[in-house]
Amino acid sequence: MRITTAAEMRQLDRLAIETYGIPGVVLMENAGAQVVRIMRQEYPDLTARRVAVLCGHGNNGGDGFVVARYLHHMGVQVQTFLVGELESVQGDARVHLDILRRLGLTPQVVTTAEAAQAAGSQLPAYDLLIDAIFGTGLKAAVSGPAQVLIAAMNASGKPIVAVDIPSGLSADSGIFLGEHVKADLTVTMALPKRGLLLYPAAEHVGRLVVVDIGFPAAVRDHEAVQCHWLEAHDMASLLRARREDSHKGTYGHVLVVGGGLGKTGAGALASMAALRTGAGLVTFAVPHSLNAAMEAKLTEVMTVPLPEAEEGLLGADAAKRMLEILEGMTALVIGPGLGTHPETVRCVYDVLRQARLPVVVDADGLNALARQPEMFGEIQAPLVLTPHPGELARLRRTTTGTIQADRLGAAQDTAQTCGAVVVLKGARSVIADPQGTLWINSTGNAGMATAGTGDVLSGMIGALLGQGYTPATAACLAVYVHGLAGDLAAATWGQRSLLAGDLLATLPAAFQRLENAKGLPLASWEHRWLKGCTRGWSAGEVA
């Protein structure tokens, strides 16, 4: 499913209105009707509840006027509040406001902080609050009467349903624009907006439902929207069947380079993850003095000892041996636990300059490139970079806070600048390719915030590259299944005690679950994401 910015959503609205002739007032009618339909599903006793609908003077408020009218027709006791003067409501929203007034449902006008306090004091008397104050067009921090009213909504203790997006959230970045609604349910129109899926804002979206408002498929799937949400049926379609007449060589040979002194576990996890992701053969290249320990630790993984600069750390001479080994490989993973000794860094440079097979660069491999970013101009191999925010900050010579403030932009710019697929890890990991396409992951949980899970991911990507998947496909598929394995592990052992090694145990079940999703019918236009450990989706027919 595509994910829009506010500007992209406006473009799709214009396309539906101007190209396909669907009046904006009809789209607004559909939006309000769909919100009420979802409310009836979520709150079976809706007709017995007292409902307050809080509206702004823009199109989001227009949706709210439609909601109020439909609730009134159902016999619900409803009161509408308008933040602004009646005369400030224009366009399509004005049409629906006038209908509401003709029904005798003129909104209570809130134009001052005092009026907002008075309106806010009434909210605890209602059973359900509808937020239709600000939509996706909000740019500046919330202030004035709206700020007071939003604070009162949150303090009321009543369930809040947000129309399209909770007021006070940035539709593009997932940051808060001052006082913001903390919704229990958000019903968003046509396609999800980026800010609904990105943290920290995603924490206050509640349950997210995406509904059809009558966009033609050509509008909904328009190529102008270049950000995508990774879903089970899409990922399942990417998995290739294993041929009955295949052998281990059919599924690639991955070389993992890492595991320096004190960090051998990183390379070992990456190696085992590559096998669990279907690689036919995996070789782990380690400093010579650590080879015997890895031989004893890893049964299914082959090992190769490499020359050392000092005990447990690769020397510059290791590059020559690695390049010889790469002649028989189909993918390289370099960096997990590697270390940052000057000779080790030089070894990384020499290998990356001469490698031609697909390469995953992780951890200390990224730290080496951060010291000499001009190296990217000398690398000819297809690259996948897998930084966490701190590593990407070092690579971009900025701060972690700057990266986190615009995760999508940072990943996209890095991918285009470096000519690589970038996986920016974290809550809702982001994948970006050099052409500007973005993907946001839907799986994973906070239990995965533990040492070694990133090493598992790098091994998984390496395995898929070694099997012939493109860098972008390998990254998306690995990130999705990696998060799914984490969700399955958390469901079994809990998030608090989750270990990176637990993912190795649940990867088979994660892949099997994805295999079982093959051939499922695609959703129509409605999807649901539920808060909790496992974020799935379900689909229903559009009313």
Residue 200 domain-assigned (yes or no): yes
Give percent of the chain above pLDDT 70. Answer: 95
Residue 65 domain-assigned (yes or no): yes
**Residue 192's domain spans which residues?**
2-223
What Cα–Cα distance (Å) separates residue 199 from each residue in 106, 195, 427? Answer: 37, 8, 7
Residues 12 and 59 in one domain: yes
Res. 528: pLDDT tops 80: no
Question: In angstroms, rounded to a whole number, what is the distance separating the alpha carbons of residues 16 and 203?
Answer: 31
Rg (CA), the chain: 26
Question: In angstroms, rounded to a whole number, what is the distance separating the alpha carbons of residues 16 and 28?
Answer: 12
Phi, psi of 26 (to 5 degrees): -75, -40
Question: In angstroms, rounded to a whole number, what is the distance separating the alpha carbons of residues 361 and 344?
Answer: 14
Question: Could you count the other beta carbons within 10 Å of the beta carbon of residue 311?
Answer: 10
Closest alpha carbon to 465 in 448, 478, 452, 451? 478
Residues 170 and 213 in one domain: yes
Q: At what angle do helices 144-155 and 113-122 cross, to 10 degrees?
A: 20
The two structure tokens encoding residue 311: 């005990």
Q: What is the CATH number for 478?
A: 3.40.1190.20
> 517 or 440: which carries more pLDDT confidence?
440
Residues 195 and 239 in one domain: no
Residues 201 and 248 in one domain: no
Residue 533 domain-assigned (yes or no): no
Res. 534: pLDDT tops 70: no
Residues 186 and 260 in one domain: no
Question: In angstroms, rounded to a whole number, what is the distance separating the alpha carbons of residues 423 and 340?
Answer: 22
DSSP-assigned letters across all residues of 314-347: E-TTHHHHHHHHHTT-SEEEE-TT----HHHHHH
Q: CB of 154 within 8 A of CB of 169? A: no
Q: What is the pLDDT of residue 531?
A: 37
Q: What is the pLDDT of residue 518?
A: 77
Residues 307 and 197 in one domain: no
Question: In angstroms, rounded to a whole number, what is the distance separating the alpha carbons of residues 386 and 458?
Answer: 7
Question: In angstroms, rounded to a whole number, what is the distance separating the alpha carbons of residues 209 and 526?
Answer: 7
Residues 111 and 260 in one domain: no
User: At which of 157, 190, 223 does a domain end?
Assistant: 223
Res. 234: pLDDT tops 80: yes
Residues 209 and 123 in one domain: yes
Residue 79 domain-assigned (yes or no): yes
Which pLDDT tens digit goes with each residue over 414-452? 999 999 999 999 999 999 999 999 999 999 999 999 999
Residue 186 domain-assigned (yes or no): yes
Residue 37 domain-assigned (yes or no): yes
Question: In angstroms, rounded to a whole number, what is the distance separating the alpha carbons of residues 372 and 395?
Answer: 9
Q: What is the pLDDT of residue 517?
A: 85
User: At which of 179, 201, 223 does a domain end?
Assistant: 223
Residues 185 and 280 in one domain: no
Res. 522: pLDDT tops 50: no
Give percent of the chain above pLDDT 90. Answer: 93
Residue 172 domain-assigned (yes or no): yes
Q: What is the CATH number for 218?
A: 3.40.50.10260
Residues 197 and 280 in one domain: no
Residues contacting residue 327 through CB under 8 Å, at least 6 positions apart: none
Number of H helices, E strands in the chain: 20, 21
User: At which of 223, 248, 263 does a domain end?
Assistant: 223
* CA atoms in the 13 A half-sphere facing the CB of 249: 1
Residues 255 and 211 in one domain: no
Which pLDDT tens digit goes with each residue over 103-136? 999 999 999 999 999 999 999 999 999 999 999 9
Closest alpha carbon to 455 in 366, 508, 386, 389? 386
The two structure tokens encoding residue 334: 């370099």
Residues 112 and 203 in one domain: yes
Q: What is the pLDDT of residue 82?
A: 98
Res. 535: pLDDT tops 90: no
Least-confidence region, from 97-106, 490-499, 517-526: 517-526
Q: What is the pLDDT of residue 519?
A: 62
Question: In angstroms, rounded to a whole number, what is the distance separating the alpha carbons of residues 100 and 106?
Answer: 6
Chain-centroid distance, C-alpha 26: 31
Residue 536 domain-assigned (yes or no): no
Number of domains comprising the chain:
2
What Cα–Cα distance (Å) separates residue 354 from each residue in 319, 322, 327, 383? Answer: 10, 11, 11, 13
Q: What is the pLDDT of residue 543?
A: 27
Chain-centroid distance, C-alpha 309: 41
Question: In angstroms, rounded to a whole number, what is the distance separating the alpha carbons of residues 40 and 526?
Answer: 15
Q: What is the mean pLDDT of residues 350-368?
A: 98
Q: What is the mean pLDDT of residues 399-423?
A: 97
